Structure 1
Amino acid sequence: MLELLTGSGLAMAAGLNAYVPLLALGLLSRFTDAVELPAGWDWLEGDIALVVLAVLLAVEVVADKIPVVDSVNDVLQTVVRPASGGLVLAAGAASQTPAVTDPATLEGSAWVAVVLGVLLALGTHTVKSVARPAVNLTTAGAGAPVVSTAEDVSSVGLVLVSLLLPVLIGALVVVLVVLLVMAVRRRVGRVTRP
């Protein structure tokens, strides 16, 4: 069960920033004993993957701080973040971490992990992409760098909590679902008003 929570937290982090959890898994697996990736995922700790992920992370961090560019980036990331969420849930749920020493919950059903990761990352991404234009409008763009930095820090925090204290992720999943329902209701309310 903890491995599912670990993967879920990583997927939600991918909904905020697609590259933070992937890069974290790769770096932690390569340079520490904190994460041991399962067989077949060793490509994530390779030189090419780490360099590409670091460059993509740098581009995303900069693009997400610029008003208007951040909204365009969110549209482009609508495919990337959920895909990353599927990857990190599948990899994270099958990895050994400080909290998970015998990952077995999703053994033999990796496609379930990928689908769940896609859905969790898409939910987080949807909440983010609905809220960001409102922040930009109400602050005349001045809030974009602040909110973006908070999202980046939250993504890193989610990765750390997922790997070290995955029990807390269950509560965060509930919060995500509530925020998503509220965002959808607000959007539907705007469309149905005359």
Structure 2
Amino acid sequence: MDVTSAVGSVLGAFGLSGAAGLNAWLPLFIAGLADRFGWIDLGGSYGWLSSAPALIVIGVLLVADLVGDKIPAVDSVLHGIGTLVAPTSGAVLFTAETSLNSHLPTAVAAVLGALTAGSVHAGRSVARPFVTGTTAGVGNPVVSAAEDMTSLALTVVAFVVPVVAFVAVLILLIGLGWLAFRASRWLRRRRERKQLGTPPRSPG
């Protein structure tokens, strides 16, 4: 086993799983297309991702998510669904990326992928009400578009420069953790003021 390739595949897998936490369908769709056109090799076990039926279904779900996540209230429903979908996508991508170039057990790869994607998704789900409340929903499409672009960038970088994708995911997790902390404090203060009958203030 080539150690360099093995390490690269693991680091890239973290990047793909992080991307799945931001948009569960985008990295799956890109990985499937890349495998179909021969740019990457997902191996026989994950060749189904590049099949025409899979690409069509994932593509339709991707478009629905891209549109729905820009709409307040609808995005909350999608985030709820994503609590299951994002970790699943992360697990599939992590195991697919590491299946050929490393001896990482499939179960371990699946858990790492699910945890990475799930952590990123949890951070963005906690932070979204903060964005909605402080911008009256106007900021949702902007934040959602930024998440989609970051997911796209992470996916591409994961295949091209895996170590950069890994570092980017670490930074993303730290940033989302901080934002989630701020959001939870703001939401708690908002509930307290509502109970006391005082008007809410801007977060600070």
Alpha-carbon spacing, 1:165–1:14, altered in 2? closer, same or farther (3 Å): same
Structure 1 unaligned regions, length at least 5 = 96-102
Q: Percent identity?
A: 41
1:104 aligns with 2:102: yes
- TM-score normalized by structure 2? 0.83
> What pairs with 1:128-143 in structure 2 (closer than 5 Å)?
128-143=124-139
Structure 2 counterparts to residues 41-190 of structure 1, below 5 A:
41-94=46-99, 103-106=101-104, 109-179=105-175, 181-182=177-178, 185-186=181-182, 187=184
CA RMSD of aligned residues (A): 2.1
Task: Mark the CA change 1:51 to 1:2 in structure 2 (over 3 Å): closer, same or farther.
Answer: same
Hey, what's the Cα distance between the residues in 2 that align with 1:11 and 1:174? 12
Aligned AA (1:3): S
Q: In structure 1, what residue type is equivalent to 2:66?
A: V
SS of the residue corresponding to residue 40 of structure 1 reads helix
Listed one character per residue, the Cα deviations across residues 41-60 of structure 1 (whole Å, up to 9, x for unaligned) are 11111111000000000111
Structure 2: 5+ residue runs without aligned partners? 1-6, 193-204
The question of whether the paired residues in 1 share the 8 Å contact of 2:127 and 2:180 is answered with no
**Higher Rg of the two aligned structures:** 2
4+ residue stretches of structure 1 with deviation over 4 A? 183-186, 188-194
Number of equivalenced pairs: 184
Q: Is the 8 A contact 1:123 1:176 kept in 2?
A: no
State the distance in 2 between where 1:188 and 1:141 align. Answer: 19
**TM-score in terms of structure 1 length:** 0.87
Contact 1:3-1:105 at 8 Å conserved across structures: no
> Secondary structure of the residue that 2:44 maps to in structure 1?
coil
Distance, in Å, in 2 between the alignment partners of 1:145 and 1:153 is 12
| Contact kept in structure 2, 1:4 and 1:105, CA below 8 Å | no
